[in-house]
Structures are given as structure tokens and as C-alpha cells.
Chain A
């Protein structure tokens, strides 16, 4: 057992803290922000644990390692909903479903009746879709809050001033660590949170569109998260009118009742990403960095936390580690 200092209390930092505490280590977490909040890009995450769907555009490790996520988050927070994902396309974009099906696995084709059974509120609106029964979702803010609560209860300490000494230092600061990581870039994402009590969805629904892909994640009690844009920009400011218009139009196309929804939040965050859009662990002397989770913060932080903890305990060079320790 040894003492570790983690920089950054976003999803990567908290997941690693939980993994280390579970293995019996002593952990301190430093973040200048006193609590969870909009400064962390995981605050704005969708919370889909959807490794099969993500494989559409992501590399193979995202599927294989993302399979660990739902079980890990359930053990660590007890807040995972396992009801799968439903993928739909509007009439004119039906060919998108065929492409999506070819590029992914773990799905079952659904006809109109199947869709109506899975999501009664969408009955009669779509002729076909894909159901990914093994996928899951969580509410990011609740999950991070619970993780933080359990960590505090188990003796982990949250500091707003960094202590001078620590045996090992793990930098999980996301984009804030870019001065130390020359090839880290920002990928902007914009999202909305709506309240629409007229509609009930029991699982994330993805609407395929050639230009404006949308996902809607139910947060319970009539609240939905709509996401998310992917823009090659590190501009942190508020969402643009066009992005909001596009997301809302797509939601309206999914179900017109979204037109009457209350807009609770319009948010934006900047995801940290490396050129291959995969996370990487790097060791520079005493400092280990865990970064670049891109749009897979909740999906890949469990695997990253496991690999980082393995490395800290045994010196092993895990899959996502770039080079031998110097």
C-alpha cells in the first residue's frame, strides 16, 4: 500500500481514485474546484455505456475495453441502468441503419412492432431500428457525486491546494494538462438538457442522420440529455445557435412532443483527445498522466483506471501506455 496524489477530479481522476482505494491504497485528489461542476468536461457527458454503438466510428479497443464499464460503474456507484440502446433513422435515412448495422455488432433488428414494445412512446413513428441489448447508461453527475461520496467515506481526501510531497503523482486533468502533452487537442461538444414530461424513454435512443446525429439519454422524471456536437475546436464558450437548432430539430424529428419541452440547460465542454482519439497513459519520471478519453470518459475510464493502477503496483506496461517508464 502506498500513497498517491491524483490531479483532477473529473471522471478519470475519480475513477482512478476509486480503483486505487478498492485495491487498498491511500489516495489524495487535488482539484482547484471545490466540487463537481461545469469546469469538468465529464459534467456535460452523455453517460452512455455503449461500446457496441461506439464501434461504428471508434477503434477496436473502445469496444473490447468498454465492455468493462457497466460492471465497474455498477460496483462503484450502484447507479447503472441496463436497458440497452435503441438506434433509429428517419425514413429518408434508412440506408444509415444498414451501414450502422454493418459496422457494429451485438444488435438485434427491430420492426415497428419491436420498437413499440421497447419504447411505447415511439410507436408508429419508425419502421425499423437496431436494438443493442447489452448496453447501459448512467447519469454522469449522479455517478460522479456518488463516487466522490464513497471515496470520502473510505478516507480519500479532496484538496484544493496541492501538497508538496507524494510518492506518486497521477495527472488526470484532461485539457488542463495540455502544456505537458503537446499532441493533446480539444474537441468541442455541445448539449442540452430538456424536461419533457409527455415522453417516457427507458433507454438511450440514437437517431442516425448523415449530418446531424443525435442521442437522447433519459435522466428520469421527464428529464432528457440531448447530445452532442463534435467540433474540432478548443473554444470553451457557450453553445452556438446553429448547434442548438440542429440538436433540437433532430429531437423534434424523433418525437414532436420535444417541441414543447422546457430547456433546462444548454452546455458545452471541450473533450481532451490525442490524434488517434484513444486514451493514453504516459510516464515522465515520477509523473504518470492518464488523458485523452475523448468522447469515452465514462466508457473507458474504468479500463484506464485498471491499467494505471496495475502500472503503479507492478510497473507493468499496459495496453494504453505509450512508452517504457523513463
Chain B
């Protein structure tokens, strides 16, 4: 079970709370998913989102506020301060967007914002690329969780760079790693977990599905299956067939 800043979370699924058809569907999707952590945005609500935030808090899961929609270091830090006050938690999922079209993180501002927030006592979950050096810098400034993207936010493209994600896992075996963004299908979630990731974070794949509750269930099953498979130490693929029934004593040519 993964430890996020000392907190054990049973479910390998983290779920976002944006863009559901209604708060009622959102609540049902959370119940179906068993997700243990809910991410919440507050940038655009401008302090007027209390009713919605209360609905999210009533889900009974741990809240991970985020800085979604922030395009500069200063915005992200200010939003983190607001989040700490509103949700009474040191946790912050740090997003600093560097490019408006692909919503790629600005990794330079991200490292700097993470440094500032860690010094202020925040427990930072940085949304980053799968770049080893960037991830190393984030750990240097005090992040104890990394959240590399699978693909751009909301794209549903899956894991664009499996090699990069695998090597990140291999380089930082002790750091809780979460694939954040890009997951569109349960098979993407399973694949991340099969690589030994500690959790997956997704939102659009569930919220924008025709049946969000059904998709939440599917994602939970897939993430669980991927985790069980990783723990079961999967066989290595091989080129040659390896028959599982004995062939000794049988005619090779008949």
C-alpha cells in the first residue's frame, strides 16, 4: 500500500471532481470507484465554491486540492495558500501550466514553486513530465511524491512514453509515483499499475464517459488488477513458445 506523506491509502485510484454531469453523478462515481483521494480545483471558483466543496468533502475521502488553471509560479503559490485555508490540509497537487494548448507543465516554475511551498510546510504532489532530471530536482527541493503525466490532461491518449515511465520507476524505487493525466481507458490504468506505479489519477475519462459510474467501476477494477499483477511478479515475455504440457515421449511428427 502506498504511503503519501505518511498517509496510507488503500485504493490505487485517485479521482478528480471536475466536469461530471452533476454532483449526484460525481458522488455515485466515487462510491463505485472506491477512490481514496479526491482532487479539487479552486482557481476559477474565486472563493465562491463553498457549496460544491462541501459536497466533495461529504464524499468522505481525503481531499487533495490542486492548482489547476495556474499559469505562473505566483498564481500557483497563492492558490496553494487558499487551498490550505479552505481545506485545512498541507497537501497540494501542484500544477503550473506552461503551454495553453497542451497544458504541459512548466517544469522550471514547478520546481521553484515546489521549493517555496515545501519550505512553507506544504506536502507537495507535483504534476510533472516523466523527465528523470526534472523529477530528481523535485525530490531535491523536498517533494516526496511524484506525479508524472501519461499524456496531456484530458487527452485520453494513455501512456505516451512507457519507457520513460518505467525508467522513472526503476530510478526512484522508494518514491510514491502516480500517473496523472492522459488516462482514457481502464487498460491505461492497468498498464501504469503493472509497471509498479503506486496509483493513477484521472478525471475526464470518468466524468466525460457516457456512464461515469460504470467507467469509475471499470477503472477501479483495472487499477486493482494492474496492482495485483505487479505484486504477483509477472512472467517475462519470450519469443519462443513454451508448451505447458509435457512433450517427452510423444511423436514429434505424426
Contacts and interface: CB of A to CB of B under 8 A. Distances in A.
B63 to A, nearest CB: 15
B44 interface: yes
A232 B24 contact: no
Nearest to B44: A231
Contact of A231 (B22, B27, B45, B210): B45
A52 to B, nearest CB: 16
Contacts, number: 57
Given A185-B55, A210-B154, A211-B154, A275 B22 contact: yes
Contacts of A211: 154
Interface in B39-55: 44-52, 55
Query: How many interface residues does chain A have, given as a range?
Result: 20 to 34
A240 interface: yes
A233 interface: yes
B45 A57 contact: no
B210 A233 contact: no
Nearest to A103: B210
Interface in A40-86: 57-59
B242 to A, nearest CB: 41
B21 interface: yes
A235 interface: yes
Contacts of A278: 22
A151 to B, nearest CB: 32
A102 B208 CA distance: 13
Given A275-B27, A277-B24, A186 B210 contact: no
A276 interface: yes
Contacts of B162: none
B247 to A, nearest CB: 50
Nearest to A237: B46
Given A103-B210, A185-B55, A210-B154, A275 B23 contact: yes
B74 to A, nearest CB: 16
Given A103-B210, A233-B46, A58 B52 contact: no
Interface string A180-224: 000001101000000000000000000000110000000000000
A226 to B, nearest CB: 18
B51 A185 contact: yes
Interface residues of B, number: 18
A234 interface: yes
A240 B51 CA distance: 20
B24 A188 contact: no
A59 B23 CA distance: 13
Contacts of B49: 231-234
Contacts of B44: 231, 233, 240, 242
Contacts of B25: 276
Contacts of B52: 185, 232-233
A234 B55 contact: no
Contact of A234 (B21, B48, B154): B48
A240 B44 CA distance: 9
A188 B24 CA distance: 18
Interface string B10-27: 000000000001111101
A211 B52 CA distance: 20
Q: Which of B24, B45, B51 neighbours the largest number of chain A CB atoms within 10 Å of its CB? A: B51
A58 B51 contact: no
28 contacts: A57-B21, A58-B21, A59-B21, A102-B210, A103-B210, A185-B23, A185-B51, A185-B52, A185-B55, A231-B44, A232-B45, A232-B52, A233-B47, A233-B48, A233-B49, A233-B52, A234-B49, A234-B50, A235-B45, A235-B47, A235-B48, A240-B44, A275-B27, A275-B55, A276-B24, A277-B21, A277-B23, A277-B24
Interface of B: 21-25, 27, 44-52, 55, 154, 210
